């Protein structure tokens, strides 16, 4: 047999083999796919399979085996993926198999990569809003969410609000804080802390990685000028303790519930809101005790105050028509301005000012009490701090002063009341 005849014979057999393979792979037609409705699996060849569920749903599968383990990768429903498209997807899967790649694992990795790419595009503003919504239920004051949004929108958003949170770095944080660090130190400090919290949440949530660029210790403290605590804190103008007696004497010459509330505030060294919001149920006059619940305390901890004779006398003079101890004209709690107004009216008789010449404030009387305790008594510092419901700054000291020093505080508040009456 000649070489030419052999070539013709071989080519004919090869073409027949190719045709047989083609026929083996393309066993289904588009019309069959449409008309088939019996539940089961229908092979098109090359691992491509039409799946019909008992409910009648039709979808494509690419079925294959690796090391004796079978896999079935979904390629989509027939109403979305045509027969031709399914064949192309199956072909791509077989090509991956030739390269030693599992098509199903490869697709899963692609989906993970796509999700990561998507999350990395979360902006700082989006993360800030997500953080606020997550923390809002735990905040005691509903105004906190509004305050967080306001400060971040005002200072952080113009600099990097629309930037991917993953791209927020030290340079951007400094760019945000530097313009207000000296002029608005309290605000800048608050903004820095909130940025740090948002970025920390973003890291935990998988939207960024690495160190927090807004952290202070060992980081921003090296880049931004450290403002002393004295400069950072704007103290409330306080009456010099030497004038406390004269002030209370003048105050007792004024009528009205607001005047009584102000005197009670001075005698107990409490905050305005704690006094104005007081309810009769918080008092045990037999025990001469006022217990302010944790929900009404700035610290979030219950605070017990021993009542002096002068404080009890004020309570005894008040009507008990409602549960509010210091009611306004309509039975509601007094406003903060009502106490401030008492001081302003007293200014007609005497200018009550602090050492810098600023008119004293209601909150400043806590400082007056604290300075008196330091200058005129021998009570330990922690006793006065407990009286103000302050947390001691030193952790070791707090560990040794777990008690409320109540007996000593009882004597301290009695001495303070005497000083205010006779000072």
The SS3 call for residue 48 is: strand
Q: What percent of the chain has pLDDT over 70?
A: 84
Tens-place pLDDT, residues 372-419:
988 898 888 888 888 888 765 444 333 334 455 788 999 999 999 999
Q: What percent of the chain has pLDDT over 90?
A: 46
With cut-offs at 50, 70 and 90, classify the pLDDT of residue 82.
very high
Comparing 220 with 233, the larger pLDDT belongs to: 220
CA dist 192 and 187 (Å) reads: 9
pLDDT of residue 257: 92
Report which of 267, 248, 274 is spatially closest to residue 346, judged by C-alpha positions: 248
pLDDT of residue 228: 44
pTM above 0.85, yes or no: no
Query: Where do the domains of the chain lie?
Result: 25-119, 124-232, 241-422
pLDDT of residue 382: 84
pLDDT of residue 4: 44
How does the average pLDDT of the chain come out, rounded?
A: 83
CA dist 238 and 356 (Å) reads: 10
pLDDT of residue 117: 54
Say which CATH topology domain 241-422 has.
hpI Integrase; Chain A (1.10.443)
Domain 124-232 has CATH 1.20.120.350: no
Over residues 91-102, the mean pLDDT reads 90
Domain 25-119 has CATH 3.30.420.480: no
The SS3 call for residue 102 is: coil
CA dist 379 and 405 (Å) reads: 11
Choose the weakest-confidence range: 129-138, 194-203, 210-219.
129-138
Tens-place pLDDT, residues 277-295:
999 999 999 999 999 998 8
Handedness of CA 37, 38, 44, 48 (dihedral sign): positive
Over residues 358-370, the mean pLDDT reads 88
Residue bearing tokens 């302003």: 344
Residue bearing tokens 């993360």: 127
Tens-place pLDDT, residues 312-342:
999 998 988 889 999 988 878 888 899 989 9
């Amino acid at each position: 047999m000649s070489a030419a005849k052999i070539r013709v014979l071989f080519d004919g057999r090869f073409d027949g083999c190719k045709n047989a393979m083609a026929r083996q792979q393309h066993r289904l037609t588009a019309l069959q796919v449409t008309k088939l409705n019996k539940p089961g699996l229908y092979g098109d060849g090359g691992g491509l399979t039409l799946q019909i569920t008992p409910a009648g749903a039709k979808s494509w599968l690419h079925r294959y085996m690796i090391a004796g383990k079978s896999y079935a990768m979904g390629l989509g429903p027939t109403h979305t993926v045509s027969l031709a498209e399914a064949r192309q997807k199956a072909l791509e899967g077989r090509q991956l198999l030739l390269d030693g790649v599992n098509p199903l694992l490869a697709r899963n990795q692609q989906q993970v990569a796509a999700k990561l790419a998507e999350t990395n595009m979360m902006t700082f503003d989006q993360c800030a809003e997500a953080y606020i919504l997550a923390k809002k239920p735990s905040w005691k004051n509903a105004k906190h969410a509004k305050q967080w949004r306001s400060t971040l929108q005002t200072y952080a958003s113009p600099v990097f609000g629309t930037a991917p949170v993953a791209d927020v770095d030290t340079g951007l944080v400094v760019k945000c804080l530097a313009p207000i660090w000296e002029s608005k130190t309290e605000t800048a400090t608050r903004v820095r802390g909130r940025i740090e919290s948002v970025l920390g949440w973003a890291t935990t949530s998988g939207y960024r990685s690495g160190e927090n660029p807004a952290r202070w210790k060992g980081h921003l403290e090296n880049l931004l000028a450290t403002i002393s605590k004295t400069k950072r804190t704007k103290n409330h103008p306080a009456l010099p303790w030497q004038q406390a007696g004269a002030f209370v004497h003048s105050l007792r010459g004024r009528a009205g519930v607001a005047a009584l509330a102000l005197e009670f505030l001075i005698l107990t060294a409490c905050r305005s809101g704690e006094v104005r919001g007081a309810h009769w149920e918080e008092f045990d006059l037999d025990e001469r005790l006022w217990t302010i619940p944790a929900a009404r305390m700035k610290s979030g901890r219950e605070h017990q105050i021993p009542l002096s004779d002068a404080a009890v006398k004020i309570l005894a003079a008040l009507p008990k028509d409602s549960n509010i101890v210091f009611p306004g004209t309509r039975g509601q709690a007094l406003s903060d301005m009502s106490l401030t107004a008492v001081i302003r009216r007293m200014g007609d008789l005497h200018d009550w000012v602090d050492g810098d010449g600023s008119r004293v404030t209601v909150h400043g009387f806590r400082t007056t009490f604290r300075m008196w305790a330091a200058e005129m008594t021998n009570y330990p510092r922690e006793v006065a701090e407990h009286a103000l419901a302050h947390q001691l700054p030193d952790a070791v000291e707090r560990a040794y002063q777990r008690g409320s020093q109540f007996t000593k505080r009882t004597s301290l508040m009695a001495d303070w009341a005497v000083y205010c009456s006779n000072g």
